Amino acid sequence: DAKTTQPTSMDCAEGRAANLPCNHSTISGNEYVYWYRQIHSQGPQYIIHGLKNNETNEMASLIITEDRKSSTLILPHATLRDTAVYYCIVRVLGSGNTPLVFGKGTRLSVIA
Amino acid sequence: DSGVTQTPKHLITATGQRVTLRCSPRSGDLSVYWYQQSLDQGLQFLIQYYNGEERAKGNILERFSAQQFPDLHSELNLSSLELGDSALYFCASSPQGVSHNSPLHFGNGTRLTVT
């Protein structure tokens, strides 16, 4: 799988949008971008994924650049409960689901 | 609630012992994945099973083994335990075969402490 680069940590004021960047410059055409988060030693929680189009669900929005070399996860109105480590992962989709390979992620702190 | 159930939540045991961790996947999911998370290593993929057969192997030690049963639940067996095996062990599941986009859904883990 292609590797990703994320900032080690970020702060965000409560109620503001949190924009978490991810670089995946070596992504291949058959690799999706997935975002997960882990809140204080709980199991990783799936947030969103996409291939090349922007995606939105009830949790977040995913913006993927046209060249697919980077993406941004947007939490539109961050709350204290969004404090977590956020992982950006690229994953090959092929003849069978493949495991996720986690990096170190970004530690997001939402501040009151 | 992800629908993935892991038992026990906590386990404390001594070095040299053997333990079994159990995972029940989400209803209908055929694939099960095991991950280890220790303080200094992050989330490490151990092994994947699909419908009872081993599908992929990661950084799993020879002292560790796993299996997936006909009812699709899975067990991770850890033997000759060492202090360094203390970690959180997560199980995840995914449908596979339904959609190649299927995300993995994780349980809340078993915290293993080896003393």
Q: Tens digits of per-residue pLDDT, B8-58?
A: 999 999 999 999 999 999 998 999 999 999 987 789 999 999 999 999 999
In the predicted model, what is the mean pLDDT of chain B? 93
> Considering CB atoms only, which of A32, A42, A44 is closest to B43?
A44
User: pLDDT-based confidence at B107, cuts 50/70/90?
Assistant: very high
Beta-strand ranges (E) seen in B25-109 are 31-38, 42-50, 53-57, 64-68, 74-78, 87-94, 105-106
Q: Give the mutation candidate from B36, B106, B112 for the A interface (greatest A CB count, under 10 A).
A: B106
Say whether A46 and B43 touch across the interface (CB within 8 A). Answer: no
Which of A42, A97, A101 is nearest residue B94 as measured by Cβ atoms? A97
Question: B24 and chain A: CB distance < 8 Å anywhere?
Answer: no
CA distance A92 to B114: 36
- Report the share of chain B in percent with pLDDT over 90: 81
pLDDT at position A91? 86
Q: Taking 80 as the threshold, does the pLDDT of residue B96 lie above it?
A: no
Instruction: Please tell me the predicted confidence (pLDDT) of residue B97.
Output: 59
pLDDT tens track, chain A, 112 positions: 558 999 999 999 999 999 999 999 999 888 899 999 999 889 999 999 999 989 999 999 999 999 999 999 999 999 999 999 999 999 887 656 678 889 999 999 999 9
Closest Cα to residue A97, out of B43, B94, B44, B68?
A: B94
Residue B27: both structure tokens together: 């209803």
The pLDDT value recorded for residue B1 is: 83
Is the per-residue pLDDT at B100 higher than 70? no
Residue B75 at interface with chain A, using a CB cutoff of 8 Å = no
Per-residue pLDDT, averaged over B80-109, amounts to 87
Q: Which residues of chain A have a CB within 8 Å of the CB of B50?
A: 96
Interface touch A46/B104, C-beta < 8 Å: yes
A interface toward B at CB cutoff 8 Å? 32, 34, 38, 41-46, 49, 87, 93-94, 96-104
Check residue B42 and give its pLDDT. 86
C-alpha dihedral sign at B105, A99, A57, B27: negative
Task: Please classify residue B38 by burial: count the beta carbons closer than 10 Å to its beta carbon, then call 0-12 exposed, 13-18 middle and 19+ buried.
Answer: middle
Closest CB to B45 among A38, A41, A101 = A101
Per the CB < 8 Å rule, is A96 touching B55?
A: yes
| Residue B85 DSSP code | G
Tell me whether B90 touches chain A (CB under 8 Å): yes
